[in-house]
Copies of this chain bind each other. A is one copy, B any other.
Amino acid sequence: MSSNISNQHFTEEERETLYRVIHARRDMRHFIGGEVADDVLARILDAAHAAPSVGFMQPWRFVSIQKPELRGDLIALVEAEKVKTSETMDARKAEFMRLKVEGIRDCAELIAVILAPDDGTTFGRRTMPSEMALASVSCAIQNMWLAARAENLGMGWVSFFQPEDVAELLHCPEGAQPIALLCLGPVKAFYERPMLESEGWRAREDLSSILAEDSYPLATDEHR
């Protein structure tokens, strides 16, 4: 990549484009099948691989699920976990079971994202080894989310699974940890707001309750 690219100046209009992508991105659970063209998928994965990583570890691994029977096995794991999750919900169990919480059956592409086994890197992660590796993979996924939105495709992060079960299905080596089943593909429409907000599951926090100067913003968490 030339210095012209890394040092380019972004205009006000380009900056506004980025913000529009960031604010229009949604965690999607409603897909309409179809497909994702190879060149589109390649750009989205390139965006993932351009993410920052602690000590330049690049600890992200991607498995594109192609075989229908493998997708079926993953769906079964997700269905089982949804039931287990509902059992933690007490009064809101019925409400939870009515929500559409994932789109794993209907999305055009299903991509598992796996945290690679620890390679012993201490650069920037001596005190928080698992946290910093996971953070790097999460940044890669956020790049994919924004890339998908700019490609006018929906993406959803499904985390309803036991990681060890997914690891077994995908033949992961010891120490690798699946963290996401990404549903990707065409959607009929993007949610106006986060689905859990518009469905009344939970409210958006005020910026003032998550931000403070020189000291932790106690307004919210001290009362929890």
Interface residues of A (CB under 8 A from B): 1-3, 5-10, 14-15, 17-27, 43, 45-47, 49-52, 54-58, 60-67, 70, 81, 84-85, 88-89, 96, 101, 114, 116-117, 119, 122-128, 131-132, 134-139, 141-143, 145-147, 149-152, 157-163, 170-173, 176-177, 179-180, 189-194, 196-197, 201-202, 204-205, 207, 210-218, 220-222, 224
- Name the contact of A56 in the complex, choosing from B1, B135, B202 (C-beta under 8 A): B202
B84 & A126 in contact (Cβ 8 Å cutoff): yes
Taking a contact as CB atoms under 8 Å apart, the answer to whether A210 and B58 are in contact is: yes
Question: Which 6 residue pairs of A and B lie closest in terms of their CB atoms, listed nearest first?
Answer: A138-B138, A142-B142, A139-B142, A56-B196, A135-B138, A88-B122
Among B1, B26, B145, contact of A6 (Cβ-Cβ < 8 Å): B26
Known: A6-B191, A210-B61. A163 touches B128 (CB 8 A): yes
A127 and B166 alpha carbons, distance in the complex (Å): 12
Contact A162 B193 (CB under 8 A): no
Q: Complex: how many Å from CA A23 to CA B213?
A: 32
With known contacts A142-B143, A173-B222, A201-B56, A85–B216 Cβ distance under 8 A? no
Select one of B20, B27, B137 contacting A8, CB under 8 A. B20
Given the known interface contacts A124-B101, A142-B51, the answer about A132 and B159 at a Cβ–Cβ threshold of 8 Å is yes
What is the count of identical protomers in the complex? 2
Q: How far is the CA of A147 from the CA of B196 in the complex (A)?
A: 25
Partner of A216, one of B15, B63, B131, B146: B63
Instruction: Please indicate the chain B residues that have their CB under 8 angstroms from the CB of A7 in the complex.
Output: 24, 189-190, 192
Residues of B with C-beta under 8 A to A89: 122
**Cα(A181)–Cα(B121), bound, Å:** 20
A1 adjacent to B49 (CB under 8 Å): no
13 contacts between A and B (CB under 8 A): A10-B20, A18-B150, A25-B52, A52-B142, A52-B194, A63-B213, A70-B214, A116-B220, A131-B177, A139-B142, A146-B146, A170-B214, A171-B216
**Closest CB in chain B relative to A41 CB, distance in Å:** 10
Question: When the two chains form their complex, are residues A119 and B210 in contact, meaning their CB atoms are under 8 A apart?
Answer: no
